[in-house]
Amino acid sequence: MTLPKINAPTYELTLPSSDRKIKYRPFLVKEEKLLIIAMESENLKEIATAVKQVISNCILTRGIKVEKLSTFDIEYLFLNIRGKSVGESVDVLLTCPDDNDTQVPVTIALSDIQVQKDPEHSTTVQLDDQYFMKMRYPSLNEFVKSNFVEGDAEIEQSFDMIANCIDQIYTEEESWAGTDHTHKELVEFIENLGSTQFQSIEKFFTTMPKLSHTVKVRNPNTGVESDVVLEGLASFFS
């Protein structure tokens, strides 16, 4: 006789990048095992891959391609799935900024952690009076490649990330799709920009929506209370 299957509850959330509502379920024991093995490896690339696999398994809404989601969508999804799976809070050990030495344990409610959006952020970058760039957000695959793969110099990682995120270059009369050009061509285009133009592109990344939460921490040794800003998924599992 076949053993019964116990149905997992379903929940709904809104993706920060598109405001699209999707349904998801908590992760199962087999997925928790996958995460534990990845966390124990202390290999950031393995952790990111495990997060991607868990999210793929847990999303119930059809048509959602995890590899196409923005990094901050991935982080927000994982936090919510985790909250419904193993607990609505996470314990982190934070270093007090006033002495940069004392560590204090803090419990953070996952419902308090949101994707913060900068009002100055725009996906359109103006290069000069004639040329503009339409940018797309980094996907998880690009995020892993640029941040977790060893061997590349930091400046090369930065240029690769920018090239991968160019959706379109255009003027009022012409346009060039990023997908119609090789990675090498896009990198060469970036290399031929002026310093001010490059800074305009960097602003897209520095103001990009991010998973962020500010925690007040009191140093038990000095009595000083400070704000500690946690950004990115890894900050909430340190």
Q: What is the model's pTM? A: 0.79
pLDDT of residue 61: 94
Residue 226 belongs to a domain? yes
Domain count, the chain: 3
Which residue in the block uniquely carries the two structure tokens 């934070």? 94
Q: Are residues 219 and 109 in the same domain?
A: yes
Q: Rg (Cα) of the chain, in Å, rounded?
A: 21
Q: What is the spatial distance between Cα 165 and Cα 181, in angstroms, rounded to a whole number? A: 13
pLDDT of residue 153: 54
Q: Are residues 140 and 202 in the same domain?
A: yes
Q: Are residues 79 and 64 in the same domain?
A: yes
Exposure of 138 by Cβ count < 10 A (0-12 exposed, 13-18 middle, 19+ buried)?
buried
Range of the domain at 20: 7-87
pLDDT per residue of the chain (238 residues) written in tens, 0 to 9: 788 888 889 999 999 988 999 999 998 888 888 888 887 887 777 877 887 888 899 999 998 988 888 889 988 998 888 888 878 888 889 999 999 999 999 999 988 889 999 999 999 999 999 999 999 998 876 666 655 555 555 677 788 889 999 999 999 999 999 999 999 999 999 999 999 999 999 999 999 998 899 999 999 999 999 999 998 877 776 5
Q: Are residues 64 and 17 in the same domain?
A: yes
pLDDT of residue 195: 94
Q: Are residues 187 and 216 in the same domain?
A: no
Q: Are residues 105 and 155 in the same domain?
A: no
Task: Give the pair of three-digit tokens for residue 234.
Answer: 């890894």
Among 170, 164, 96, smallest CA distance to 136 is for 164
pLDDT of residue 44: 72
Q: What is the spatial distance between Cα 136 and Cα 138, in angstroms, rounded to a whole number? A: 7
pLDDT of residue 151: 52
Residue 42 belongs to a domain? yes
Residue 150 belongs to a domain? yes
